[in-house]
Amino acid sequence: MNLVLDLGNSRCKWALARPPGMAEVRNTPEQFFRNDGLTPGGAFAYSDDFTRALDQAFGPLSRPAQVAVVSVAGAVRTDRLAHWVQRRWNLDLLRFSARAVQCGVTNTYKDPAQLGADRWAALIAARTRAPDAVCVVDCGTATTVDALDHKGVFRGGVIFPGVALMLSSLLQGTQGIPASAGNPDTCLAQTTSDAVAAGVLYSLAGAIDRILDEQAAELGGAPQVLLTGGNAEVLSSLMRHTTTLVPDLVLEGVARMVATEGAA
């Protein structure tokens, strides 16, 4: 098995991936792979003691064949993961970043390496899932909406704040807005906390819908829309576009990159 990780801005997400050619054995709980080759892992928020968090999450696992990561969490945290993997399993951490071409996806960024590694992994997974045009929406700490055409060419995308960042900006930039959870069920809110909750979610859902309209016009037709990230489910319920929720899209992309690394 391979251990695949996504070091995001606020959390570490992980799963186990079945390497190509590995028989679908089911002798232990960690080998119950899904049809996409992943078995559910977990996620944990970063803390002051990252090494301890790694011990708790991965200490019980048997030695994987490879450990691979995409990271936007910074060099310090990624290096600590690499040190932990080397000390625990005597393995070198396989770090993926965006390339010009990989797994049937062409990167059109002016500097391909500047595209976020998590966005790149999600695009690779999207290409595997959807052979035609597709838009990928990642609803995490930041919200990203990326467009992939029917030839697998990344046409570009946008980045804007996610739910937590929008809430924190309101709290920091205003007086009298309470730092409490509100009910986002209606845009006719009658308390300030409810108004903030609804305003943040509906504004994000509306922005995503508008951006998808613009991207669809460039791509032609009606591209499939894949949603991932911690806030994907709640935002999907408020959007006009038909979407498919794929919670582990980034990890699927990492698994795909591992499986094809070194192939022609």
CATH number for the domain harbouring residue 192: 3.30.420.40
Task: pLDDT tens for the chain, 264 residues: list them.
Answer: 999 999 999 899 999 998 765 655 454 444 555 666 788 789 999 888 999 999 999 999 999 999 999 999 999 999 999 999 999 999 999 999 999 999 999 999 999 999 999 999 999 999 999 989 999 999 999 999 999 999 999 999 999 999 989 888 887 777 666 666 778 888 898 888 888 889 999 999 999 999 999 999 999 889 999 999 999 999 999 999 999 999 999 999 999 999 998 543
For residue 256, being part of any structural domain is answered with: no
Say how many CA atoms lie within 13 Å of 209 toward its Cβ: 14
The total number of structural domains that make up the chain: 2
Interatomic CA distance for residues 18 and 66, integer angstroms? 11
Q: At what angle do helices 192-219 and 163-173 cross, to 10 degrees?
A: 130
For residue 243, being part of any structural domain is answered with: yes
Same domain, 77 and 172: no
Look at residues 95, 124, 141 and tell me which one is the last residue of a structural domain: 95
Sequence-ordered list of residues with C-beta below 8 angstroms from that of 32, at least 6 positions apart, any chain: 26, 39
Interatomic CA distance for residues 98 and 149, integer angstroms? 18
- For residue 98, what are the CA distances in angstroms to 9, 172, 228, 257, 259? 17, 34, 19, 11, 16
Nearest to 236 by CA among 159, 138, 164: 138
Task: Indicate which residues carry an active-site annotation.
Answer: 118
For residue 100, being part of any structural domain is answered with: no
Which range of residues forms the domain containing residue 12?
Answer: 2-95
222's tokens = 């009606």
169's tokens = 């900006």
For residue 21, being part of any structural domain is answered with: yes
For residue 112, being part of any structural domain is answered with: no
Polymer length of the chain: 264
pTM over 0.85: yes
DSSP 8-state secondary structure symbol assigned to residue 43: E
Same domain, 146 and 240: yes
Same domain, 154 and 243: yes
